Amino acid sequence: MGTLANRIGVIMLALGAVLAGVPAASAADAPVAVIVEDTAGVLDLNTLVPAVERIQFYEPTRVAVFTYNGTAADNLNETVLAFARSRHPEWISPDGQKWADGLFIFALDPVGRHVGTYMGEDRKVSLEQRADIQDASKDLLRDAQWTDGTVAGIRRAAELINQPWHRSTGFLITSWVTGGLAALGAAAWLTVRGVTRARCRKQIARGDRSYANVSMDLELTELNAGTIPESSRYGSQVLEKHRTFLSRYAATTELANQVHALPRRALSRRKSLNLARDFADKAAQLDALDDVIADSNALLNRAATWPTAWDRQLAPFRTDLGGLEQLLAKRHGQGDSASAAALRSFRDESLREIEGWTADLADRAITPEQALDRLYAARSRLSELLEKHAETVIEGFARNDRETRLMREQMDAAHEGPTRRGQRTYEPSILGTCYPTYQFFSVATFNSGFTGGIGSVNSARGGGGTTG
């Protein structure tokens, strides 16, 4: 420990010499305005707006959030610009060539799976930092946590926009280097601990957001569950999940108490990080389930909010349909095959049928159960078509039985569904709650199996390249 302490001392002396010339940090500023144009209807404004208003920027900044339902083939940049010109000309500079000064825009297409960030000349960041902002939101957006993903992206933008030089990654790296080669061992030790501590805090913050949502809606969740019709096939299965809700909430509360009781030094330990992740995962699962309970009550009882609940049930299917063309356009994707043509035909037919189902629901021509049955049948049919196309892709790429087996193993593993630390995840929808993950073969899981299969075969051939 004495040697380690000496090394840390060397680092601190070196850092002190550099930091002596660092100016005081500028005062933090809350957004001067938060403008939300949720044309896709996927954001919870009661959560989003207060969360964004609490974010601190280095300079006074106007924050705009824009969502719309597009397709995978859309050009997000053109869409955002066209929307700004028609609805918010104040977002554009007086000369019409740039975004307005003091502005940051977070744009999201939940159907086409696009996310973009735009900012005035006085708020610009590097391309790497722009990618960093978008990456901060992508894990949440992949799980269809649109509100939390948007907040995460804006929070990361606030950390990077107009960032003082002494808080930049480059400065921190330089500061470590000034510690000298003699302190590298201690620096590595401190870095690992610092990274672990930062990740631990991030997981606790993720868990706190979900846990707060569940806690605030706890009474409402119980009311919603109390009015879900048990006679409904879907309602009864959601109620079955609800029966363990309170016990799981109590267990998550215990985890919350444990992570918040951790002393600062303990946050640097791997064991604490695992505990924080467990808390965050369990809180997120409860947060998803209480949304499903609310949607089940609204849709099955035709409450005033049933159209919004129905849209959320359609969202995973729409996402799959929107991602088909990109999947078929991949190298080795067999986009000109008969199975690809069947997928395109099904997509076009389904997009028309979705509108018909919604109209029939609105006219009471069908019951909510019948609408969910139609959605289940359509998603099952898409799964069958994707399975057939998987065979087409395997036949087109594999050269022998061994390569066929490798690719099929990857496809089967993807179809079985993703897991997180041994726990199988599920889709936060009524169908996703009533049926196991592997019930539906989605475009996302096809892509995962496709990429893994190509990679396995290339590795076996002695290459190692992947497509995806």
Mean pLDDT throughout 13-28?
50
Could you give the CA distance from residue 262 to residue 270 in angstroms, rounded to a whole number?
A: 13
Three-state secondary structure of the chain: CHHHHHHHHHHHHHHHHHHCCCCCCCCCECCCEEEEEECCCCCCHHHHHHHHHCCCECCCCEEEEEECCCCCCCCHHHHHHHHHHHHCHHHECCCCCCECCCEEEEEEECCCCEEEEEECHHHCCCHHHHHHHHHHHHHHHHCCCHHHHHHHHHHHHHHHCCCCHHHCHHHHHHHHHCCCHHHHHHHHHHHHHHHHHHHHHHHHHHHHHHHHHHHHCHHHHHHHHHHCCCCCHHHHHHHHHHCCHHHHHHHHHHHHHHHHCCCHHHHHCHHHHHHHHHHHHHHHHHHHHHHHHHHHHHHHCCCCCHHHHHHHHHHHHHHHHHHHHHHHCCCCCCCCCHHHHHHHHHHHHHHHHHHHHHHHHHCCCCCHHHHHHHHHHHHHHHHHHHHHHHHHHHHHHCCCHHHHHHHHHHHHHHHCCCEECCEECCCCCHHHHHCCHHHCCCHHHHHHHHHHHHHHHHHHCCCCCCCC
If asked whether residues 347 and 394 sit together in one domain, one would say yes
Residue 365: per-residue pLDDT = 97
| Among 154, 179, 204, residue at a domain's last position | 179
* Residue (of 161, 131, 180, 187) closest to 55 by Cα position: 161
- Taking only the tens place, the pLDDT of each residue in 158-203 is 999 988 865 555 444 444 444 545 455 545 556 778 899 999 999 9
Final residue of a structural domain among 264, 295, 326: 295
CA distance 332 to 291: 39
> How many domains are there within the chain?
4
Select the more confidently predicted residue: 145 or 172. 145
Are residues 44 and 154 located together in one domain of the fold? yes
Give residue 26's pLDDT band: very low, low, confident or very high (50, 70, 90): very low
Is 305 within a domain?
A: no
Q: Report pLDDT for 391.
A: 94
| 147 in the same domain as 258 | no
| Dihedral angle of Cα 279, 281, 287, 288, to the nearest 10 degrees | -170
| Residue 94 and residue 121 share a domain | yes
Establish if 302 belongs to a structural domain. no
Q: Indicate if 121 and 140 belong to the same structural domain.
A: yes
Average pLDDT over residues 381-389: 95
* In the predicted structure, residue 5 carries a pLDDT above the cut 60: no
Q: Does a structural domain hold residue 364? A: yes
Per residue in 121-135, pLDDT (tens digit) is 899 888 888 888 988
Quick one: average pLDDT of 362-372?
Answer: 97
Q: Is residue 450 assigned to a domain?
A: yes
pLDDT of residue 187: 55
- Identify whether residues 174 and 153 lie together within a single domain: no
Domain limits at 206? 191-295
**CA distance readout (Å), 451 to 16, 141, 373, 442:** 48, 21, 32, 14
Residues 53, 133, single domain; the answer is yes
Task: Of 55-64, 165-174, 454-463, give the range with the top mean pLDDT.
Answer: 55-64
pLDDT at residue 174, as a whole number? 46
Check residue 8 and give its pLDDT: 53
* Average confidence (pLDDT) over 405-428: 72
Q: What is the pLDDT of residues 356-365, one digit of tens each?
A: 999 999 999 9
Strand 103-109 versus strand 62-67 pairing type: parallel
Task: Assess whether 444 and 395 both reside in one domain.
Answer: yes
- Dig out the tokens for 242 from the structure: 């609800």
Residues 320 and 443 grouped into a single domain? yes
Confidence band, pLDDT 50/70/90 cuts, at residue 239: very high
Return the percentage of the chain with pLDDT > 90, whole number.
65
pLDDT digits (tens, 9 = 90+) for 245-268: 999 999 999 999 999 999 989 898
Q: What is the pLDDT of residue 164?
A: 81
| Tens digit of each residue's pLDDT (9 = 90 or more) over 276-334 | 999 999 999 999 999 999 999 999 999 999 999 999 999 999 999 999 999 999 999 99
Task: Please state, rounded to an integer, the average pLDDT across all residues of the chain.
Answer: 86
Whether residue 207 lies inside any domain: the answer is: yes
For residue 186, tell me if it sits in a domain. no
Q: What is the CATH number of the domain that holds 90?
A: 3.10.310.50
Pairwise pLDDT comparison (27 vs 40), residue with the higher score? 40
* pLDDT exceeds 50 at position 28: yes
Do 316 and 456 share a domain, yes or no? Answer: yes
Residue ending a domain, among 266, 295, 324, is 295
| Domain identity same for 107 and 174 | no
Greater confidence (112 vs 312) lies with: 312
Residue 16 is predicted with a pLDDT of 52
Question: Cα dist. 55→25, 72, 91 in Å?
Answer: 16, 31, 21
pLDDT in the model for residue 143: 86
Comparing C-alpha atoms, which of 311, 310, 314, 290 is closest to residue 300? 310
Which residues are 104's β-sheet partners? 63, 119
More confident residue, 8 or 230: 230
Model pLDDT, residue 24: 44
Is residue 301 included in any domain, yes or no? no
- Domain membership flag for residue 421: yes
Question: Are 86 and 112 within one domain?
Answer: yes
More confident of the two residues 166 and 390: 390
CA distance linking residue 414 with residue 347, whole number of Å: 22
For residue 313, which amino acid is it? Q
